[in-house]
Structures are given as C-alpha cells and as structure tokens.
Amino acid sequence: MAKKLDTKTLDLILDKMVETVGNSKDEIFRIGEQCRMDYESLTDELKAVRDMVAQIIDEGDKLETQSKFARKRLSVVSMHFKDYTEAEVREAYERAHQLQMDLTMKRQMEKQLRDRRDDIERRLNGLTETIERAEHLVSQISVVMNYLMSDLKQVGEALEDAKMKQDFGLKIIEAQEEERKRLSREIHDGPAQMMANVMMRSDLIERVYKEQGAKEAFTEVRNLKKMVRGALYEVRRIIYDLRPMALDDLGLVPTLKKYLQTIEEYHDSTKISFANIGEIKRLPSKYEVALFRLVQESVQNALKHADAKEIKVRLEINDSKVTVIVKDDGKGFDVNERKAESFGLIGMRERVDILDGQIAIDSKIGAGTVVLIQVPY
C-alpha cells in the first residue's frame, strides 16, 4: 500500500531546497565580488609592473650606450696597447666587461618583468571570465528559485540533474586550473630558473677563462654540464608528469617499473625497488592513471621532503582490488600536523576517494613513512 502524501513534509523539503539554492546564490555572488577585488588588485600590480618595465628598458638602453663606448675604448686601447699603462688597460677591460654583465642582468630582469606582466594580463582575463560566469550563474539560480517556488512538478529530477552537471563541470574546471598553476609553477621554479643560471654561467666561464685560465674554466664547464643535465631532467619529469605514454601502451606495471628505474638513475643517493606481487594485467584506464599518480606523488614526497635513502614500492593486483604500499626510510613527519605543503596528501586522498578506495599514511619523525592504498575495482 502506498503511503499517504504528507504535504507538510513536502513544504519542509521545498523550503530547505529554496534555502540551499539561496545560499548557493549568495556564495557565488561572494565569489564574484572576491574576483572583482582581485581584479582591482591585479590591475594596480599590472600598472606598477608596466612602470617597472619601462624603467628597466630605459636603464638598459643607457647601459647599452655606455657598454658600446666602453667596448670602443677597449678596442682603441687594444690597438694602441703600448701607449697605455697596465692599469689603464685593465681598467678599460674590466669596465667593458662589467657593463656587459650589468646589461645582461638588466635584460634578464626586463624579461622576467615582461613575463610577470603577461602572466598578470592572463590572470586578469581569467578573472573577467570568472566574474561573467558568476553573474550568469546568479541569474540562472534566480530562475531556478522562481521555478521552485512556483511549480514543484518534476523539480526533483531537474534539480538533481542540474546539480550533478554543475558539480562535474566545476570539478573539471578546478582540476584543470590547479594543474595549470602547478605546471606553470614547476616550469618557473625549475627549468626557467636553471636556464637563466646557465646564461649567467656561460658569461662567467668566459670571464674565468680570461682571468684565471683554462683549468678553472673547465671546472666551470663541468658545473655547467651538471646544471644543464638537471634542467633536462626537470623538463623530462614535467613532460612525464603530464601523461606517461607508456601507460596507455603497456599498462600500469611496466610503466611503474620504468618510471621508478628512471627516477633512481637521476637520484644516485637513493635506492628505489619495485615488486609486483599479484597478476600483471590491464586495468581500466582511470584506475591505471590514478594509481600511477598516487605512486608518483608518494615517491616524489619521499625524495623531496623526506630525504629518503631507500624507497620500496609494492603492488598487488587480484580479482577484486589493487593494493599499493610505498615505504621509505626518510625523516618522517607528524601526520597530525597540518602544513601548507600538505596539499599533495590532500590530492592523494581525493584521488582515492574518487575510486571508492582507502588510504592510510603512517609516519613518525625520524622513523620513515608508509603509505598504504587499497582500491576495489
């Protein structure tokens, strides 16, 4: 027998729905207002950066003029070497070289400021889009509220479908923006900085060769090679982070094995071992990608934050679940202490939650860390 329809309960449900939608509308409005404040702040910063760019360009042009005169004088001194004292020759050389170094530094600062200016302009464009989307969403929610208060027919299905689509879209946008910010930050802090240092080192090598001889210059060349190798590793790592192609072609186990071997080669002081206990078989794509990222994040945490000398990765695939264990002998950490850099752990938990799995992290200061992940499929 069907239960009698309770109109009071329906009214309560409807009131709660209207309240929730109204709160969502207020939250989106606050997001839009915050974006407007950020837009104004970035606009002021953009103006300051543009002024600095203009100033740096002016200073660079002056330095370039001075450098040309200094090189010209150096050329004259070199041609009439006997007519000048040793101190005058040295002064002419050092001034020309110093001006050239100052000009190089000034141009590098100009490039960094230009990059910062372009980044701010891109962020302003993004904020403009966000503000427009927020206004559009507020308008749409107002329509939904009017609909809820005027007609209850089929509102349950419509609202649930709209909410699912909105949550899904927001998740995708959020993930994309976070990945872009992370990639931009890694390129800026890694290869970009290293290549800037390479430019500086190359100028330094020439100076060392002229002032201290070939032996010291070769030492600088070896240091430069190490720096270039580090930059190359960072570039390869970032490319690999985007999407390891072997994952689609070979599957999880071979890709993990190759990845860990490569990481070990670039970290001579750390031993990394991998063991597959269960079956070697293909999993659905979303499982392979997520599990690879989880192992990758765990290993990178052990290398970057724990200073581990030994890392062990164990993988077991059976008919009902996948188990991953990542153990290191690093310095460990207090799992109850919330830190700004713990966003990586938050991301790992979110990946596991999406797959309806479980993750446990056991760590003590000075006693290493163990990460246990279990995912049903």
Name the pTM for this structure. Answer: 0.42
Q: Give residue 67's pLDDT.
A: 85
Mean pLDDT is highest, among 2-6, 12-16, 197-201, 295-299, for: 295-299
Compare 23 and 343 and report the one with higher pLDDT: 23
pLDDT in tens, 68-103: 888 888 888 888 877 777 788 788 888 888 888 988
Residues 156 and 88 sit within 8 Å (Cβ to Cβ) = no
Q: Assess whether pLDDT exceeds 70 at residue 334.
A: yes
Cβ neighbours for 252, distance < 8 A, ≥ 6 positions apart: 282, 283, 287, 288, 291, 292, 315
- Integer Cα distance of 228 and 242 in angstroms: 21
Residues 375 and 291 sit within 8 Å (Cβ to Cβ) = yes
Q: What single string gives the DSSP state of each residue in 43-62?
A: HHHHHHHHHHHHHHHHHHHH
- DSSP-derived letter for residue 269 is T
